[in-house]
Amino acid sequence: MIIALNNKCNLTKEKFIEYQEELQKIKTDMTLILCPTNVFIGEINSPTMEVGAQNVSCTECGAYTGEVSSSQLKSIGVKYCIVGHSERRKYQHEKDDEINKKVKLLLNQEITPIICVGEEKEDRENNNQNKVIIKELEEDLKELTEEEKKKVIIAYEPIWAIGTGLTPSNNEIEEIINLIKHYLPNTKVLYGGSANENNIEELKEISSIDGYLLGGLSLKPEKLDIFLKKIKN
């Protein structure tokens, strides 16, 4: 079971150090991937945490002010990197061709991309969610070999459920997870979108889920610990 912790743009250095101390109290055999904002990646010192990033440049090193390249991430120990999160698609106007470039650069550095896909509420209401997901997968994975496709992780996050407290039904989630796995056999698929300690007992009934991408819950170690224990029980 993979648990990716997306801290987003939160915490100061002092708060991050305190946060890490609380995380280290959690005992689990699951794979925990900690994805803080880039300035705190070098502060990760927990032997139980895999090192992740929230984003990467779609270019390599060079005259690109403010960017962080895949080779730079690798040099500080990053093993996983989130790409294509809906917040970046929305606020930074990130397009699928950029995400595709990022995926290729990460794979070249042997960093596992966690590629986010998901539909808007309007897509769901119009029954277009399957078309949206397949289109994103096709474009984000364009020109990758079959072997390279096996090295990525897909995170299904219905955009309308992120941070809203809304959650699709288990049947709706399972339908998309199975769609992704049919398109990408042997690929791990995570679920994200208001997963928390209160709804995990229902979510864990979906056997095809390989893990979770957590946003708000990632910042609350005590509740995260409850979440992880409920998965195992």
| Residues taking part in catalysis | 85, 157
Whether residue 160 contacts residue 121, with contact meaning beta carbons closer than 8 Å, is answered with yes
Q: Name 205's bridge partners.
A: none
Specify the 3-state DSSP secondary structure of 212: strand
- Residue type present at position 169: S
The C-alpha R_g of the chain, in whole angstroms, comes to 17
> Rounded to whole angstroms, how far apart are CA atoms 33 and 82?
10
The most distant pair of C-alpha atoms in the chain lies apart, rounded to whole Å, by 51
Residue spans of beta strands (DSSP E) within 7-152: 31-35, 49-53, 80-83, 112-117
